[in-house]
């Protein structure tokens, strides 16, 4: 095999990564000695060194193809037939070759890309893809697509993405009334939805079981001594009520929800002080609120993590 050039050439005279893509696609000037053929008959002519180093699975397929005749394949090079589309393979190869990584434009294809990298046991490539996903703004997984991402991650066995999506769905109450008629519900298999419902129930049960320990642990000490009505745990009654309510309904966990509870209490909209506002809590410093919120976040995430381990075991 000829020596591999040290740098890329993006001029039109170079050999394209795929000989059926337009001239605007990324190109390489490396000598090719293997062909990866997609399910839609797109040929990727490549130096096999990059492929064999990135995937032992593909290395095995290349070894098998090298011993076969390719007279009917239209090339003298070994041809490896793959089940993925040319679009997904092209994106995958930008993370294998020294090219600018190119994620698909829609999240369904990005999930498929992750599944293909996992299928071919491309550990370093998988890390590279996830690193690129982490840089996306807005994030790939968000409240609008979390249900669909969860279902796709369940389908492809992508544990990390499944956990991320499941946690985001906790921001909404998982009821048929809320989900009815949504695209995500229409596309989500019943067993996936049931698994997610069980996850919500386990998170809620775990928080409810441990919330009393959190309240009495001293994690709320940043808010003591405010002069407000206190509970037996020496914390403001309205904060105690917020924590207990949040444990019963994890969708209430959020800084916005907490600050709304504070505003209602400080303005007298709550019933804690019989309709009168609380001047003490109205003067709570940002530092005290930040300290309390950091402690509460640690508590909630710790309990989510315990349930996540159970959820991950479901895929093992």
Query: For residues 132 and 174, what is the distance between their CA atoms, to the nearest angstrom?
Result: 30
Structure tokens of 81?
Answer: 């037939």
Average pLDDT for residues 28-33, to the nearest whole number? 65
Phi, psi of 134 (to 5 degrees): -65, -20
pLDDT higher for 24 or 280?
280
Q: Does 59 have pLDDT greater than 90? A: yes
pLDDT > 70 fraction of the chain, expressed in percent and rounded: 78
Q: Which of 125, 140, 155 is at the close of a domain?
A: 140
Question: What's the Rg (C-alpha) of the chain?
Answer: 27
At 90-129, the pLDDT tens digits run 999 999 998 899 999 999 999 999 999 999 999 999 999 9
Average pLDDT for residues 230-235, to the nearest whole number? 78
3-state secondary structure of 44: strand
Domain count, the chain: 2
Q: Does 70 have pLDDT greater than 80? A: no
Q: Is 155 part of any domain? A: no
pLDDT band at 315 (very low <50, low <70, confident <90, very high): very low
pLDDT higher for 302 or 177?
302
Q: Is 179 part of any domain? A: no
**Are 54 and 126 in a shared domain?**
yes
Contact 250, 200 (CB under 8 A): yes
Which structural domain range is residue 250 located in?
204-313
Q: Is 186 part of any domain? A: no
Q: Is 284 part of any domain? A: yes
Relative to beta strand 43-46, strand 34-37 is antiparallel
Query: For residues 42 and 95, what is the distance between their CA atoms, to the nearest angstrom?
Result: 18
CATH number at residue 49: 3.30.710.10
Query: For residues 284 and 45, what is the distance between their CA atoms, to the nearest angstrom?
Result: 65
Relative to beta strand 34-37, strand 79-81 is parallel
Q: Does 221 have pLDDT greater than 80? A: no
Q: Is 110 part of any domain? A: yes
**Are 22 and 134 in a shared domain?**
yes
Using alpha carbons, select from 187, 284, 276 the residue that is nearest to residue 235.
284
Q: Is 94 part of any domain? A: yes
**Are 136 and 208 in a shared domain?**
no
Using alpha carbons, select from 307, 196, 170 the residue that is nearest to residue 249.
170
């Amino acid at each position: 095999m000829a020596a591999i050039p040290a740098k890329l050439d993006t001029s039109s005279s170079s050999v394209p990564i795929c000989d059926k893509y337009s001239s605007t696609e990324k190109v390489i000037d490396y000598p090719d000695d293997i062909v990866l053929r997609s399910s839609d008959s797109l040929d990727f002519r490549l130096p096999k060194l990059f492929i064999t180093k990135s995937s032992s699975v593909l290395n095995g397929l290349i070894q098998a193809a090298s011993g076969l005749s390719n007279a009917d394949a239209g090339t003298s090079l070994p041809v490896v037939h793959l089940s993925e589309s040319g679009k997904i393979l092209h994106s995958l190869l930008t993370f294998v070759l020294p090219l600018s990584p190119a994620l698909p434009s829609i999240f369904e294809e990005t999930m498929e890309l992750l599944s293909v990298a996992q299928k071919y046991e491309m550990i370093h490539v998988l890390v590279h893809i996830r690193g690129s996903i982490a840089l996306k703004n807005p994030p790939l997984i968000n409240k609008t697509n979390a249900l669909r991402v969860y279902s796709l991650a369940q389908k492809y066995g992508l544990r990390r993405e499944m956990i991320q999506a499941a946690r985001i769905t906790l921001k909404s109450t998982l009821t048929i009334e809320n989900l009815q008629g949504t695209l995500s519900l229409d596309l989500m298999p019943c067993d996936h939805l049931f698994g997610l419902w069980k996850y919500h129930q386990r998170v809620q049960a775990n928080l409810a079981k441990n919330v009393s320990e959190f309240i009495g642990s001293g994690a709320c000490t940043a808010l003591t001594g405010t002069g407000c009505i206190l509970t037996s745990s020496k914390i403001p009654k309205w904060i105690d009520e917020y924590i207990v309510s949040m444990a019963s309904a994890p969708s209430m966990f959020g800084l916005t929800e907490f600050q709304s509870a504070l505003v209602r209490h400080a303005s007298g909209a709550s019933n804690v002080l019989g309709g009168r506002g609380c001047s003490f809590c109205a003067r709570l410093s940002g530092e005290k609120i930040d300290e309390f919120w950091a402690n509460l976040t640690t508590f909630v995430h710790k309990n989510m993590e315990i349930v996540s381990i159970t959820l991950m075991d479901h895929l093992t």
